[in-house]
Amino acid sequence: METLLLNSEDVHHNTSMAELIPAIEQAFAAYENGNAKMPAKSYIDLPQYNGDFRSMPAYLDTGEWDAAGIKWVNVHTDNEEQFDLPTVMGTMIYSEPENAFPLSIMDGTELTMQRTGAAAAVATDHLAVEGASSMGIVGAGVQAYTQLEAVAEIRDIEEVVVSDLDEARVNEFIDAFEDRFDVRSGTPSDAGHCDVLSTVTPVRDPILGPEDVGEHTHINAMGADAEGKHEIGDDVLRAAKLVIDDYAQCTHSGEINVPWANGVLDDDDLYGEIGEIVVGDKAGRTTEDGVTVFDSTGLAIQDVAAAHVVYEHANERENGTEFDLLGLA
């Protein structure tokens, strides 16, 4: 037995959104049904390097397949300027649950982008209006691309409005998608008045208030992944149908973490977790709903589910590099 090494290109090539989205939905269902084990994300803070490490282990059993793995990821904000390295890098170890053999070591950065997009698509499918045809994106970084790719899998998106302070990034995004969508630059408010909105920024001061969002907009709040980050105004969150991915993570470091710590939001303001909607214990969008918000922090079960999809395809196609990690050959 050999371990399969998959770089970012391999991960990208072996990820199909059409298959990844249902796999992520299965992961949410397994977690809700008690068929997943996911210890809390742990942090190693390194203020002397202006960064941190995070470990994210999980196991899940969907009934059709089971999988286990751990992602080791960092956020070092000085990397690009000082070392010409990405701010965020991740490594995924994907293991066989039955005997713990390391089936694959793969790039976790590309994996994270893909599964984050797929998670937004799952939430959008359950919470956006059925005929959604327009999508706004605030933040034109790398995450923006998979947000659009994924949401376009489950809604017939025609019009796209992208907003970012960096005009060059906006132009790059438009160039990438102008052959497929009617895509243009706009303000955050322009983006917020689309049927679906994904926010993928690192801001700590909210950039969207009640006047910046349509009456029936579904918002995927994807940017907040640490204490203090906050993209959506408190009044929007308080009035919306508010769905989270995980209670512990969202209250600690999700979109709701700041208003939660300030006592602006509490349990009564939460509609439920996305897993409850996926398994049918709670309804998704109803005719009475106005704005809906999905607070996504990113879960280890999503990484494991995505790694399962990538590994199965890479193994079938004989992609990647096999090597004898354990010296068993």
- 193-240 pLDDT, tens per residue? 999 999 999 999 999 999 999 999 999 999 998 899 999 999 999 999
Average pLDDT of the segment spanning 115-138: 98
Range of the domain at 216: 116-295
Residue 26: enclosing H or E segment and its boundaries?
Answer: helix 17-32
Q: What pLDDT is recorded for position 146?
A: 97
| 84 pLDDT tier (thresholds 50, 70, 90) | very high
Same domain? 107 vs 126: no
**Is 175 annotated as contributing to ligand binding?**
no
Please report, for the domain that includes residue 145, its CATH number.
3.40.50.720
Both tokens of 110, joined, read 């590309």
**Is 82 annotated as contributing to ligand binding?**
no
Residue 264 domain flag:
yes
Residue 329 domain flag:
no
Give per-residue pLDDT as tens, 204-214: 999 999 999 99
Same domain? 173 vs 191: yes
| 40 pLDDT tier (thresholds 50, 70, 90) | confident
Q: What pLDDT is recorded for position 76?
A: 95
CA atoms within 13 A on the CB side of 200: 21
The alpha carbons of the chain give a radius of gyration, in whole angstroms, of 19
Tell me: pLDDT of 329 over 90: no
Residue 60 domain flag:
yes
With b meaning 16 or more CB within 10 Å and e meaning fewer, what string describes 189-228? bbbbbbbbbbbbbebeebbbeeebbbeebbbbbbbbbbee
**Is 282 annotated as contributing to ligand binding?**
no
Residue 34 domain flag:
yes
Q: How many domains does the chain have?
A: 2
Same domain? 319 vs 252: no
Residue 190 domain flag:
yes
Q: Which residues are catalytic?
A: 71
Residue 150 domain flag:
yes
**Is 223 annotated as contributing to ligand binding?**
yes
Same domain? 309 vs 273: no
pTM: 0.95
Q: How far is CA 235 from CA 157, 242, 259, 269, in A?
A: 28, 12, 10, 11
Same domain? 264 vs 304: no
Residue 328 domain flag:
no
Same domain? 126 vs 267: yes
